Amino acid sequence: TGQLTEALAAYEQALTIDSDHPLPYYHRGIALRNADRSVEAEQDFLRVTTLLPDFAAGWAHLGRALGAQERYADALAAFDRAIELNSDLRDIHYWRGMALLNLERFSEAVTAFDTAATANPNSTQIWFYRGNSLFRLSQYEAALDSYDRAIGLSPEFVSAWYNRSMALANLGRYEDAVDALKTVLEIDPDNADAQAKLAEFERLVRQGNSSDWV
């Protein structure tokens, strides 16, 4: 119900009754992470994984708390441990892919997102970040396919439309790239990045000069 202070007090009371019970630490960690208090959450999940070293969800949430602190290598290690314990854990391959993407290990990120998409093919975020990983590998056609999948699931996903325009431009499909940016501005008229790129792309298309502008 959004009553974080009251929830934290209840977890604290539970821990005064049994300070070695893992569940108060686990659920308090989730509450803290959701409140953007990832450093405190990390401490609770470390306690959970000490008390229950074979609890896959504890490792997964530890990874998310570490990822929120941009400690991606540590997060990846936690996600790998979670997968060792339960490779079917919900969203674990997505979060592993995000850590790999932030570590610029793009090929491995694509593989992780592929696994995530097999389990959850209707996730907009999986397809979007898979597209971003492929884009960073200069695999623009494959990236475009992923962005199209994301847009098919969420037609007003501005970032997917914008990145789609960049992939199209790199494929030499400049007029299509302009159309994609126009869609961005229909959804988000104040998008300054799209405004600037649209003006640049339209000018270059008119000039017939398609090089060195992405």
Q: Any residues with CB less than 8 A from the CB of 124 and at least 6 apart, and which?
A: 150, 153, 154, 157, 160
At position 131, the amino acid (one-letter code) is G
Predicted pLDDT of residue 141: 97
Predicted pLDDT of residue 207: 80
Q: Which residue has the tokens 């907009």?
A: 124
Query: Which residues in the chain show pLDDT less than 70?
Result: 209-214
Q: What is the pLDDT of residues 149-208, one digit of tens each?
A: 999 999 999 999 999 999 999 998 889 999 999 999 999 999 999 999 999 899 878 887
Predicted pLDDT of residue 6: 95
Predicted pLDDT of residue 213: 44
Query: CA-CA distance, 26 to 35, in Å (whole number)?
Result: 14
Task: Tell me the helices (H) and strands (E) count for the chain, helix number first.
Answer: 12, 0
